[in-house]
Structure 1
Amino acid sequence: MSTHVPISSRPSRIAWIVPSLIEGSGGHRTIFQNIQALIDAGHECHVFVETPGNREFAPGTPEHEQVLHQMRGYFGFACPNVHLGWHVKGQFDLVFATAWYTARFVAGLPIRRKAYFVQDFEALFMPMGDGYLIAENSFRLGLTPLTIGRWLTSKMRRDFDSYGTFFEFCADGRVYRPIGKQRERAVCVICQPEKPRRCPVLSVETMGIIKHHRPDVKVYLYGSREKPNTWFEHTNLGLVNVEQCNELYNTCQVGLCISSSNPSRIPFEMMAAGLPVVDIHRDNNLYDMPEGGVLLADQRPEAIARAIMSLLDDPAKRDAMSKFGVEYMKLRTLERGFAQFVAGVELVLADRAGEFREMNRVLAPMYRQTPVRMLPPKPGDVTPEELAAAADMEQAMRRRLEAEHELAFIDGSRSWRAVQAFKRTAVYRALAHLRFGEGWDHVDPSEDPLARLGRIKNSRSYKLIQQSKSTGVYRWYARRRYGPEFVPPQSTNPPANPR
């Protein structure tokens, strides 16, 4: 991995506080790419990786070697200064937080310059409540934000009086480019049921409307191993590599990628391949989406469908958007984004972060067109079958959210955490390896919540916990700890919230 950034005249020591690694994580990939840019610029970067219980593992231990192997295998990243556990020792010129729950830790470190590598407004990933507010509070700790895209920098200033800078959404022009292929009358849709912020239900409803009005249009869904509930003809490509993505973007006439938080990189990669893009008209998309290459619609599926159909029916507009997108993204190479990030970091290192205030004063939305809105429905526009399919999809989403809620309750319980801590011990791991073989502890990060909940409830560990809670010893202990009115739960479902 090389980023081709200029060498700094003032190399510094920079610490990065990073969450535990997740295979296929785009967030980790972006973190490591920008760390590499700083290394290429001559800075000495130290990466502190989260571990269970914040345990520290020395270089050369199996745990340390495993993380180095995962960094190379998952993300193509190699760094000589990787530390397991957030035990920051020695002198550093700057320290970075990289996720909401790392920010408070960084704020408490005895390092003078502190920054926050912000890739999304993570509070939006949670329901309103403690989780949302605690994640939001991570922006109130005085860390200087360096964000991907203009919207987050603007939001930091408007909502938290926190002034930072941004680096642009860029694309790898060696991968995403026009290849001169004849385009089909088709729409490609990023559909990821495991990522609520990508609005999979809204995307599917939109395509159902299009297939009703334009049955000749091909629909390609991609981006996930999970299959959404659909009632119309389509092709589900599942997970595809970057070369296959570019092939897809050169096959279709329109691309749909809904971003309800910070924009995805995907619309920018679509533009680089010459594909006109449709997204929703919300504040998060107005600061980074160019009018010439993207069409933003009201968030109703009828309006999104109308925007897509207007492009399918207008070859001249599609051609103009295609040419604009290619030219717009030619300047926005990965190297440009890395250089912008490094320049922002070096202003922080030079104690010139105050200059970000002036830049923030002129930061304004770049998309000023009114959104495409829905037309009044006509009799027969929606069939009973489509209404039934939409109801089934809503019910499936509700079951999924209930499963996620119950999983969060189980994962946060003391008894479950104690069992998981025991499973991380060397003795247990050795026995499990002998009994179950290689990969016994592998967890698919994209596993459906309903499937994971069923797997946990059928596990010996879960059943043992439930059985132990029905014993007289546990009842005695619980009443002493929680009071005489304590009643043991019949399951791990949390009680309903009173209205």
Structure 2
Amino acid sequence: MLNSLIYRARQVRDLIRRDGVASTAKMIVQRVRFGPGQWPRADIFAHFDFVSNASPLAVRGSAELGSLLWVIPDFSIGSGGHLNIFRTIFHLESMGYQSTILIVGPTVHLDAVSARRDIADHFFPLKADVVIEGGDLPAAEFAVATGWQTAYFVRRFPSSLKKIYFAQDFEPYFYPMGSEYIFAENTYHFGFFGIAAGDWLAERLERDYGMKTRAVGFGVEHDRYRPLPRREPHIKRVFFYARPPTPRRAFELGLLVLDAVHRALPSVEFVLAGWNTADYRIPFPHLDCGTVGLDELPDLYAQCDVALVLSLTNLSLLPLELMGCGCAVVSNTGANVEWLLSEEIAVLTEPTPEALSRAVCELLENDERRMALIARAEAFAKTQHWSNVAVAFEAGLQSARETSLCAA
């Protein structure tokens, strides 16, 4: 019975990752209505229809130079990947580019008006039009895939469009070795020009898949992420980026690290943010902040001395934002992290509970070392600008114009 419950819990977790909360809730209600033993059968063909669908997608009109058609999955408020997409569109608009956003596989937004409103209210005030899958699509100079599912749609656009893959992570790693791993990996053979978040990802796509790529870095919103007054400087606090439904953020490993720190330094306080962790037994005292609004994050970061941020695939944006707020960062080693972070600005160690907890404790117990690290990290964060990332992205578009690509 217990194994069955665990299996069902993992199924729900995977469905939320794949289809979103609203779609998953609708499916659960439907299955409960049907009753035990009468649940609808899983329809693999309907769910993965986009993988084998080769029907061309039509666009109207003629493309203007500097126009982009962004193909995105539907989004929820707080999505970091979508924040980066919308931020890029915002900066490109300020540089004279025109964008249209196509939402495929809608699960949250069933109409363009509500989607556009949520983008403006919770991300950026974009000029871009929004179209829901099945709507009328304008021609564009560039069609931009923003994730592996969307790459299958971009593949169906006319070959006259220059096809871009805005890759923010190595997405096959989001899945166990199986069909979805392969479906994601296959998209790297579609012949798109890759604009990749960071050197590690760009180099991997070139080396392993023969993609032509351009790397862009990360930036910091300096008006938001800046040092703020510390209200209780006598209390040592550790921040942990806790996201149980995102395996690449190593939630379980992080809890073991924090528990070891608590046993070594019982007076230290712990702050968890990123997801609601109330359903988990966490034996040490902690503040569970759940999902925190962007405007509330800087003060939260500024009240902490050390942050534990784990990245098992591509690096998270959080380290730079924490550094900008004057919080020391501990993370794991690996080329996926060290393309941006170094021992000059963060403490990097092997991803074991022993090594990571020791690194956190040493920073908490050595004020001089911690403050020196914070000063170097804050200075580095100030050099990272999103406007420069947008310039690099534009250079990637220019490279795509000049590169002869063989799209699938």
Coarse TM-score class (shorter-chain normalised):
0.7 to 0.9
The counterpart of 2:87, out of the listed 26, 33, 40, is 33
Q: Which has the larger radius of gyration?
A: 1
> Offset of 1:320 from its aligned partner?
1.5
Q: Residue deviations 1:68-109, cap 9 Å, x none?
A: 223323323433532221567554221111110111221232
Q: Which residue of 2 aligns with 1:96?
A: 144
> Offset of 1:191 from its aligned partner?
0.9
The counterpart of 1:290, out of the listed 332, 336, 342, is 342
> Offset of 1:127 from its aligned partner?
1.0
2:132 is equivalent to residue 84 of structure 1: yes
Contact 2:302 2:327 in 1 (8 A): yes
2:216 is equivalent to residue 167 of structure 1: yes
Q: In structure 2, how many angstroms separate the alpha carbons of the residues matched to 1:70 and 1:252?
A: 31
The counterpart of 1:272, out of the listed 317, 324, 349, is 324
Change (3 A) 1:112 1:64: closer
What secondary structure sits across from 2:169 in the alignment?
coil
What secondary structure sits across from 1:255 in the alignment?
strand
Q: Which residue of 2 aligns with 1:220?
A: 271
Contact 2:307 2:322 in 1 (8 A): yes
Which runs of 5 or more residues in structure 1 are unaligned? Answer: 1-9, 355-499
Superposition pairs of residues 368-447 of structure 1, within 5 angstroms: none
Change (3 A) 1:195 1:330: same
> Offset of 1:136 from its aligned partner?
1.1
Q: In structure 2, how many angstroms separate the alpha carbons of the residues matched to 1:331 and 1:82?
A: 33
Give the partner amino acid of 1:103: A
RMSD between superposed Cα atoms in Å: 2.3
Contact 1:276 1:322 in 2 (8 A): yes
Q: Which structure has more RCO (C-alpha within 8 Å, separation ≥ 6)?
A: 2
The counterpart of 1:48, out of the listed 102, 110, 114, is 102
Superposition pairs of residues 187-266 of structure 1, within 5 angstroms: 187-227=238-278, 228-266=280-318
> Offset of 1:225 from its aligned partner?
2.2
Give the partner amino acid of 2:130: V
Q: Which residue of 1 aligns with 2:191?
A: 142
Q: Normalising by the residue count of structure 2, what TM-score does the alignment of the two structures yield? A: 0.77
Q: Which residue of 2 aligns with 1:300?
A: 352
Contact 1:147 1:166 in 2 (8 A): yes
2:361 is equivalent to residue 312 of structure 1: no
The counterpart of 1:68, out of the listed 96, 106, 116, is 116
Change (3 A) 1:226 1:353: farther
Change (3 A) 1:177 1:67: closer
Change (3 A) 1:77 1:321: same
Q: In structure 1, how many angstroms separate the alpha carbons of the residues matched to 2:260 and 2:371?
A: 24
What secondary structure sits across from 1:35 in the alignment?
helix
Q: Which residue of 1 aligns with 2:45?
A: none
Change (3 A) 1:190 1:353: farther
> Offset of 1:342 from its aligned partner?
2.3
Q: In structure 2, how many angstroms separate the alpha carbons of the residues matched to 1:93 and 1:346?
A: 11
Contact 2:78 2:293 in 1 (8 A): no
> Offset of 1:137 from its aligned partner?
1.2
> Offset of 1:321 from its aligned partner?
0.9
Contact 2:250 2:310 in 1 (8 A): yes
Q: Residue deviations 1:371-403, cap 9 Å, x none?
A: xxxxxxxxxxxxxxxxxxxxxxxxxxxxxxxxx
What secondary structure sits across from 1:224 in the alignment?
coil
Contact 1:37 1:342 in 2 (8 A): no
Contact 2:276 2:288 in 1 (8 A): no
Q: In structure 2, how many angstroms separate the alpha carbons of the residues matched to 1:251 and 1:21?
A: 30
Q: Which residue of 1 aligns with 2:180?
A: 131
Give the partner amino acid of 1:304: L
> Offset of 1:250 from its aligned partner?
2.0
Give the partner amino acid of 1:63: D
> Offset of 1:338 from its aligned partner?
2.2
Q: In structure 1, how many angstroms separate the alpha carbons of the residues matched to 2:151 and 2:208?
A: 17
Change (3 A) 1:353 1:319: farther
Q: In structure 1, how many angstroms separate the alpha carbons of the residues matched to 2:354 and 2:154?
A: 45
> Offset of 1:335 from its aligned partner?
2.0
Superposition pairs of residues 341-360 of structure 1, within 5 angstroms: 341-349=393-401, 351=402
Give the partner amino acid of 2:113: E
Q: In structure 2, how many angstroms separate the alpha carbons of the residues matched to 1:243 and 1:280?
A: 27
The counterpart of 2:227, out of the listed 178, 189, 192, is 178
> Offset of 1:334 from its aligned partner?
2.3
Give the partner amino acid of 1:115: I
Give the partner amino acid of 1:173: H
Q: Normalising by the residue count of structure 1, what TM-score does the alignment of the two structures yield? A: 0.63
Q: Residue deviations 1:6-39, cap 9 Å, x none?
A: xxxx942221111123232221221111112222
Q: In structure 2, how many angstroms separate the alpha carbons of the residues matched to 1:287 and 1:221?
A: 26
Q: In structure 1, how many angstroms separate the alpha carbons of the residues matched to 2:292 and 2:66?
A: 39
Percent identity for Structure 1 against Structure 2: 27
Change (3 A) 1:88 1:157: farther
Q: Residue deviations 1:327-372, cap 9 Å, x none?
A: 10111122222222223223323x1589xxxxxxxxxxxxxxxxxx
Which runs of 5 or more residues in structure 2 are unaligned? Answer: 1-63
Give the partner amino acid of 1:284: N
Contact 1:11 1:44 in 2 (8 A): no
Q: In structure 2, how many angstroms separate the alpha carbons of the residues matched to 1:147 and 1:138?
A: 14
Q: In structure 1, how many angstroms separate the alpha carbons of the residues matched to 2:146 and 2:194?
A: 10
> Offset of 1:302 from its aligned partner?
1.1
